[in-house]
Structure 1
Amino acid sequence: MGAVEESLARFVAETSPEAIPRASYQAARQGCFDCIGVTLAGAAQAPGQMIARFVAEQESKPVCTVIGTPVRASPHLAALANGTLGHVLDYDDMGAHGYPWHPSVSLLPAALALGEELGVGGKEVLTAYLIGFEVAAHLSFGSRSPQAESGFHATAVFGALGATAVACRLLELDTQQTLMALGLAASMPSGILQNFGTHAKSLHAGMACRNGVLAASLARQGWKATDAFIESKVGWAHAYLGEDKYHPEQMVRGLGKTWHSEHTIVIKKYPCCGASHSAVDSLLSLMAEHGLRYEDVKEVHVSLLPALSYVLLYPKPEYGFQGKFSIQYSLAAALLDGGLGIESFEDGAALRPEVQEALDKITVHVLPHWDPGDYAANPVRLVLQDGRALERSTSRHQMHGTPLDPLGEEELKDKFLGCARRSLPEAQARQALAAWWDLERAQDIREPLRTVALDR
């Protein structure tokens, strides 16, 4: 057993809730609240309906809620479904400061599945979420490897181990059992970047959650796995991150003392890839400040780091889902409509003739260097019909929704209701809002889960 692996397992099994800062609980509460909202919206989408139907057809032990549906399933299938539903729209939270993963959607569904089966309280769910968050975040911090170089999606790679930590915590596994569970999970990550812009991407989060529940459940029964999954030259880090692309000692530096959850959760304003958000913010703020309309803008130029070009794959998307991973489309739709919403990425909106015209105004310049110092700032330059040029660069660290400029309470609640209404009646949507906003007070997680289930 290596020192890194032992440190991770001890942290999961032995950390007291009292050691976790209140700021982390507050960040987790908002992340979980937002995740439930976008999961409800995802349940109304075609891939969401398909995964719910698939899970229902398995006729598993009906103990866990599939959110926004009448389906109940076994814990590992509910985790699969809810993780997928939460990621369908790419509207779920993401990491700040170079943490390239989607935290809540790869952690919360695992916590809810086991939490519902066990009947634990909201505080216990949040504690498990934070333990899993810190495991995944510390592993990510120790890698600093652009996911584009490996082709693996970071949410799948880090999320599987984070979800396993969540599950171990709720199942109250000891240090040795936790070590075995993490070793099992190290064989489970999956998800390639080329599937961005397809239904398959949302499965990356769902599979991470399912794998976490599966790995911890098997370890509880006595399954054995390697205890050298990080430091080995043929282990998880070497396989998924790449040779010389990780630093084992950094993966546990400050573990239990430095809480990344305090300052790395970004709540999304737009239902599309986060790599586009800073550019969209810059475009919309320039238009608002100068009173510009679509007709006033002749050209839009945006600069892009090479790493981001590996996830923004579609210069001219052929359907709405591809538009979520097209900085050209996100800017064109925002320019044309004055904003971006869930409807912006439906097929009918993406294929409008006027959108195709707007796409011709967008030019992307991929920068020659990989320096992430001003990570994903994506500078935007507008050339107007009258000859003027306007420029703005919004750092991904400082855009609205980041810890430095967080969404306000009303913005969070408005987003939640806008999403929840897609699956729930108005009265139930408001009941769900109240229950999940005060998640920490729930004595039994089944109580808030009842507010997001449909009658069978």
Structure 2
Amino acid sequence: MAIADQIAEFVAETTFDDIPKETVSFVKHLSSKIIAAMLTGSTTLAGVKTADYVKSKKGPEEVGVIGGGFRCQLEDAVFVNGMTSHAAELEDDQFPSATSDITVFPVIFPMAEKLGLTGREIITASALGLEIMNRVGMFPLSFKGYTDLPFYGVIGAAITAGKALKLNPEQLKRAMGIAMGRASGFIVNFGTDAHYIESAGACKEGLLASLFAQKDMTGNPDIEKWLLDLYSGHEHEMDTQRIVQGLGSSDWRVHEIWVKKYPCCFLTHRHIDMMFDILAEHKISYEDIEGVEIDVGPVDYTCNRPQPKDAEDARFSFQHIMAALMLDGDIDSHHFTDEKLSDNRFQDAWPKVSVTNHPGWPAEFMSGVARITVSLINGEKIVKEREQALGGPQFPLAQDQFKDLYSKYTRKVLTTKDMEDTWQIISNLEKVENLQEFLDKIDFPGK
């Protein structure tokens, strides 16, 4: 049986009760993270510009936009949500191919409003979208300069939307075929608004793929050929049968997702964790540090940006991120502003940070074992290595840590009461039949 046939049957037949309890819990936690991302992302310049564009169209007011405070057509709401979730730089990704939950949750919540979905239906569609996306997207495309996140994300969006629409297996295959033709995304766009537009586009195109499939429009779901063509030129052969190995067993690939804790490029997070540890363990200050050396692979080296051009570029700059940690002992959204970029303290700190590229490491995201060397004024050198960041599959976050992240990234948008109320709803999502009150709280914060 072809891969698309197996996927389509699995998606169509799987119910909430088929999903392992630990997967249900993890999907709820991920949804809380991305709701927080969309809320805080709605305040970013990229988020505001996107919302302004959609509002200027004066289209049908079908569903609310998370954090937007307005209603618009379904596909536009999905696009804005996709934009804000990424503009916050808080997406959670599978590695070494960076498939992400920001092409799933921005799609399902507006659909939940339009279709009147229950909490169980949201969890089921989201879990399936994440699972299939992670399986199809387990093969890194970064060696070709492609960004896996939107490239594979359009399939995750299509599966999520298709399950919400209750498509049958034949329609799901058509949706996958249509979605594959809309795949796009390039590493060269890191640090620009185009990077966010790519993933927002994946959300919208995946939704449209399923809506077109619902109307019996056709597409070729030959996933094997699509992937083999994409992977041509790679040093290793691709075994596409891995996509369906164990499909439907208790071992869901959803759990391969790493949870992002800081609002900047994920490729810097292993080093951020190590720098936090060094600062805490050795009680050192900015004045004690002579230099910081970062060791990375060829793809992660894209975050070697000694003089970031603007706030978005700074989110992809090891130099700026390490400067924030050295100077403030923290990293948060307020560090990625024009004010910080023009701050003499930060500009003086950037040259302290050097980045060494290891071209022999795999040409994929998060390759090799990350290393950081902090040289002190007194001549001492502190070296740390880390393969996974905290929040990766080897170091999963607990529920209270997810709640801390939800609070941290919603506190500027939601009232304390609404933050607590919405957190409780997300935590018990499978028990919620009518989500309109919840959606109103996150779509129209403060109202």
Do both share a fold (TM > 0.5)? yes
Match of 2:111 in 1: 114
1:184-263 aligned at under 5 Å gives the runs 184-228=178-222, 230-232=223-225, 235=226, 237-243=227-233, 246-257=238-249, 259-261=251-253, 263=255
Match of 1:405 in 2: 395
Q: Distance in 2 between matches of 1:263 and 1:425?
A: 31
Q: 1:3, CA displacement in angstroms?
A: 0.8
1:138-177 aligned at under 5 Å gives the runs 138-141=135-138, 143=139, 145=140, 147-177=141-171
Q: What secondary structure sits across from 2:443 in the alignment? A: coil
- Is residue 121–residue 444 contact of structure 1 (8 Å, CA) maintained in 2? yes
- Is residue 174–residue 221 contact of structure 2 (8 Å, CA) maintained in 1? yes
Match of 1:321 in 2: 312
Q: Distance in 2 between matches of 1:225 and 1:442?
A: 35
> Which moved further from structure 2: 4-13 or 157-166?
4-13
Q: What secondary structure sits across from 1:306 in the alignment? A: coil
- Is residue 76–residue 214 contact of structure 1 (8 Å, CA) maintained in 2? yes
Q: Distance in 1 between matches of 2:414 and 2:68?
A: 9
Q: Distance in 1 between matches of 2:402 and 2:221?
A: 41
2:338 counterpart of 1:344: no
Distance change in 2, residues 1:259/1:202 (3 Å): farther
Report Cα offsets for 1:230-270 as digits up to 9, x if no partner.
223xx3x2454445563321222222226444522322221
- Is residue 119–residue 431 contact of structure 2 (8 Å, CA) maintained in 1? yes
The correspondence for 1:105, drawn from 90, 102, 112, is 102
Distance change in 2, residues 1:262/1:180 (3 Å): closer
The correspondence for 1:390, drawn from 364, 378, 382, is 382
Q: What secondary structure sits across from 1:180 in the alignment? A: helix
Structure 2 runs not aligned, ≥5 long: none
Q: What secondary structure sits across from 1:225 in the alignment? A: coil
- Is residue 28–residue 130 contact of structure 1 (8 Å, CA) maintained in 2? yes
Q: 1:122, CA displacement in angstroms?
A: 0.9
- Is residue 127–residue 254 contact of structure 2 (8 Å, CA) maintained in 1? no
Q: Distance in 1 between matches of 2:434 and 2:208?
A: 23
| Backbone CA RMSD of aligned residues | 2.1
- Is residue 431–residue 451 contact of structure 1 (8 Å, CA) maintained in 2? no
Q: 1:444, CA displacement in angstroms?
A: 2.2
Q: Distance in 2 between matches of 1:392 and 1:177?
A: 50
- Is residue 24–residue 259 contact of structure 1 (8 Å, CA) maintained in 2? no
Match of 1:334 in 2: 325
Q: 1:407, CA displacement in angstroms?
A: 3.2
- Is residue 107–residue 209 contact of structure 1 (8 Å, CA) maintained in 2? yes
Q: What secondary structure sits across from 1:11 in the alignment? A: helix
Q: 1:343, CA displacement in angstroms?
A: 0.7
Q: Which amino acid aligns with 1:112?
A: F
The two structures have a TM-score, normalised by structure 2, of: 0.93
Structure 1 runs not aligned, ≥5 long: none
Q: Which amino acid aligns with 2:213?
A: A
Q: What secondary structure sits across from 2:355 in the alignment? A: strand
Q: Distance in 1 between matches of 2:220 and 2:381?
A: 58
Q: Distance in 1 between matches of 2:331 and 2:371?
A: 19
Report Cα offsets for 1:64-94 as digits up to 9, x if no partner.
1101122212221111111111110211222
> Which moved further from structure 2: 401-410 or 166-175?
401-410
- Is residue 27–residue 261 contact of structure 1 (8 Å, CA) maintained in 2? no
Q: Distance in 1 between matches of 2:319 and 2:63?
A: 40
Q: Distance in 1 between matches of 2:424 and 2:195?
A: 30
> Which moved further from structure 2: 261-270 or 106-115?
261-270
Q: 1:50, CA displacement in angstroms?
A: 1.3
- Is residue 84–residue 202 contact of structure 1 (8 Å, CA) maintained in 2? yes
- Is residue 88–residue 202 contact of structure 1 (8 Å, CA) maintained in 2? yes
- Is residue 8–residue 135 contact of structure 1 (8 Å, CA) maintained in 2? yes
Match of 1:281 in 2: 273
- Is residue 97–residue 365 contact of structure 2 (8 Å, CA) maintained in 1? no
Q: 1:15, CA displacement in angstroms?
A: 2.0
Distance change in 2, residues 1:319/1:223 (3 Å): same
Distance change in 2, residues 1:242/1:79 (3 Å): farther
Q: What secondary structure sits across from 1:393 in the alignment? A: strand
Q: Distance in 2 between matches of 1:355 and 1:393?
A: 25
Q: 1:373, CA displacement in angstroms?
A: 11
Q: Which amino acid aligns with 1:176?
A: E
Q: What secondary structure sits across from 2:374 in the alignment? A: strand
Q: 1:113, CA displacement in angstroms?
A: 2.1
Report Cα offsets for 1:388-420 as digits up to 9, x if no partner.
111111222xx3222433334333223222322
